[in-house]
Amino acid sequence: MRRNVDRNDKNGENTPGEHGGAGQIGRTSNKAERLLQIEALLLTHPEGLAQADVARHLGVNRSTVCRYLPDLKRSCVCETDDGRLAIDRERYQVQVELTLHEAMALHLGTRAMVTRIAGDNAHAASALRKLGAALEHLAPRISRHLIASAGVMQSEAQRCAPSCLEALEALTRAWARGCVAHLWYRDAAHHTDACEFAPYFVEPCAIGRATVAVGWQEPPWAVRTLKIGDVQRVELTSRHYTIPEHFDPRGYLADPWRMASTEARPVEVVLKFHGHPDRGHPGRMRDIHQTPSRQTERLEEQPDGSVIWHAPVADPREIARWIRGWGGDVEVLAPPELRDWMMGEARRLAETYGWQVSPVGHG
């Protein structure tokens, strides 16, 4: 009898005191440990594992794993169509420990995303609500504010079209699973086109209030950037991909202007920011040193207090929104086509307010 008890205890089945006493504590602890082991094992096998393989990894009977299934469901473990056990990776909740200041950084990042990126994200609201709840006892004032912010974000998200969020979710699945996505998107001429796309990463773009995906696109069989807001539909394929070892996302992350276009080669954009009291606002000049592309820009201080700003930009049209935000404090010097475009914008703005503008050299 003693031998049978020891053997069963090893396999995670009956233990002494199964119906009460100190033995029950040991059994519960042993079971909890094995549930965590199964969860960790399945996280390293995205395709799932047969119950027999799980039992072999843990050194227990298959029947023991079978009895654990109701408890495993609470860890988002499910059975696939062919009987394997796998983690439902979209429902699985990652456990993260944060300091107060790390939590604040995430709060500010989330708020910056929803206030500066077009399209509201219901997942951001949910994440902020969870963050607020986690801070309830540590920092109740901050907790209440985060939960209130989440409520506002949720209301805004419900009024927005779901297509952009659905495209983001689908591309996130493709990135997480390593699956090539077949997608339909609007091109620059607003025509619907289709391609195969393997996402390398997803990132908010510094200009254009957009979220973009950078990855391998077929055609044109090259690394390209897609605005997720232009994606109309996504279907995941059975093709898998790997991100090349030589691909370095830091080049994109260090140069936000580079992510603004899908195909254009970078061109040199030259701007003049007026710092003279008669032309611009001196207090705004310090903001020039806080532009998004610090690592790729070049600044030249001028004797009159102005600053000449140089930066390579993939598509000058994409930087126009940022330039317009400076109003009359900035002048486009190059390239000529961007200068002409901004001059046309300035003329239309003046005419909107009733000013009659004559072309240079006339009248």
Q: For 146-157, what is each residue's pLDDT tens digit? A: 999 999 888 776
pLDDT score, position 40 = 93
Q: Pseudo-torsion of CA 130, 136, 140, 143, nearest 10°?
A: 0
Region 231-243: mean pLDDT is: 95
CATH class name, domain 267-352: alpha beta
Q: Do domains 2-87 and 267-352 have the same CATH topology?
A: no
- Two structure tokens written together for 227: 């605005």
* Closest listed residue to residue 196, CA positions, set 177, 182, 215, 213: 182
The Cα 301–Cα 191 span in angstroms is 44
- Two structure tokens written together for 307: 């600053």
Compare 142 and 251 and report the one with higher pLDDT. Answer: 142
| C-alpha pair distances (Å), 91 with each of 23, 43, 276 | 34, 13, 56
Indicate if the pLDDT at residue 302 is higher than 70.
yes
Indicate if the pLDDT at residue 276 is higher than 60.
no
Contact residues for 4 (Cβ-Cβ < 8 A; gap 6+):
none
Q: What are the backbone angles phi and psi of residue 122, rounded to the nearest 5°?
A: -65, -30
Is residue 241 a contact partner of residue 198, using CB atoms and an 8 Å limit? Answer: yes
- CATH number belonging to domain 2-87: 1.10.10.10
Helices 51-58 and 22-43, packing angle to 10 deg? 120
Domain spans in the chain, listed from the N-terminal domain onward: 2-87, 100-158, 163-260, 267-352
Indicate if the pLDDT at residue 58 is higher than 50.
yes
Compare 95 and 135 and report the one with higher pLDDT. Answer: 135
pLDDT score, position 121 = 74
Pick from 181-190, 264-273, 279-288: least confident = 279-288
Q: Pseudo-torsion of CA 229, 235, 237, 240, nearest 10°?
A: 30
Is residue 66 a contact partner of residue 52, using CB atoms and an 8 Å limit? Answer: no
